[in-house]
Structure 1
């Protein structure tokens, strides 16, 4: 790490603490040459996850897309924004823990539905109807029967 003032490469850490979101470590450093202090941040490098879509194209994973889809499915339902964000966070964390670089959109949809089913069944059916692209009323009824049979 070069000192931003004199360019010297040696420094000592004076103070170290987590950031408010606990996603990085903030370090106060003191240059061993000019004795000026500066701050650095250290965080874990994210491995980008690519989502393989139905048409086999790929795009970067975007948690906000999950949140937006859940907001639509949960409209006018007793599901809080915190619950929606928790589902999205759990899915993102599960994907990161897999240590894979690619995942199918189908897998992501299933993860979301498994969690949403436990939060609100109506929102689950709404999400499933869009995600699974129900062809007709019979497919829709089968999903509802499956939901009722699992109780």
Structure 2
């Protein structure tokens, strides 16, 4: 009986410990699409320098600024491409359900392998933009957000 009690108690203790460690050490954005939204965030500018991409994302008035990005890639007609993010990641100092230094529009620069820099070609950017990240899911490390999958096509002059 004591051994059975010990095993059950130990298992519950480990479960609660792991659950609390995950909640206290980290969380991640989890998005639901807002298909009925009258306005979506948009990339208003994108440009490359050697090994760097700078983008500006504008959310519409009445929406929270960009709080997380995910599924972030570019592909150029010349054949070069890069994936910055697969899973969502908070930006602008936002963490869990706590605001950071959030501005709208949001501009960021990401580095990548300079050999993949587009030049004198058309390019496409795909990114998931997360806003309104305040709904911490009970018993989970997920933070519920509104998510918008957006696309941008632009021309990169010769570098």
The TM-score normalised by the length of structure 1 is 0.35
Structure with greater helix share of residues = 1
Between structure 1 and structure 2, the one with the greater Rg is 1
**TM-score for the superposition, normalised by structure 2:** 0.34
